[in-house]
Amino acid sequence: MKRVDVVSAIIYDEEANLLTVKNVKGYWELPGGAVEKGEHLQQAVIREVKEETGYVVKVNELHSVREAFFQDKKHHALIFTFFAEMIGGEMNILDPDQDIEEVKWVSTQTFQKLNPKLYHMLKLNQQTQAFYDFEGNRTIG
């Protein structure tokens, strides 16, 4: 299995809405993606958020580290999720991979309906300290 490092960002606006992206495969998730060679995690978060949403962010503390095996792609993924705050830019999809079809701000309750599995895995219904979780074998989506 190929090891892949992935980052994502939890970004809230002033009304406590969460920034989300809709993947071309039809599911809603947090902005993020694979860490490129030579990048550190925070650089990858900043790049991925800019590419997928058009916003410039400042990376804050770590939210979680999750681990999963994606059997279909034969990937062993470490998923690093950070809290981040928007410091500039405007909503615009700049994704060179064309994986994102929509960006929107949603309430946490709406995100729970859009992607209940990710909502639960990220423990968004709880105030938690940074955590690690092994999620086992997964399929994308």
Q: Is 135 a catalytic residue?
A: no
How many whole angstroms separate alpha carbon 117 and alpha carbon 122? 9
Q: Which two tokens stand for residue 54?
A: 């058009």
In angstroms, rounded to a whole number, what is the distance separating the alpha carbons of residues 22 and 99? 9
Annotated catalytic residue: which of 36, 67, 101, 102? 102
Residue 138, phi-psi category: left (phi > 0), alpha (psi -120 to 50), beta (remainder): beta
Q: Which strand (E) or helix (H) includes residue 69?
A: strand 55-70
Positions marked active-site: 102
